[in-house]
Amino acid sequence: MRKFTTCLSLAAALLLVGVPAAVEVQPCPIDKTTMTPTGNSRQEEGKTLAEYKCEKGHVYWIAVD
pLDDT value at position 65? Answer: 77
pLDDT value at position 10? Answer: 44
Please tell me the pTM assigned to this model.
Answer: 0.59
pLDDT value at position 24? Answer: 65
- Range(s) of the domain holding residue 20: 2-63
Contacts of 13 (CB under 8 A, 6+ apart): none
pLDDT value at position 14? Answer: 44
pLDDT value at position 26? Answer: 80
SS3 3: helix
- pLDDT, mean of each 10-residue run, the chain (65 residues): 44 46 73 94 96 95 89
Residue 54: how many CB atoms within 10 A of its CB?
19
Number of structural domains the chain divides into: 1
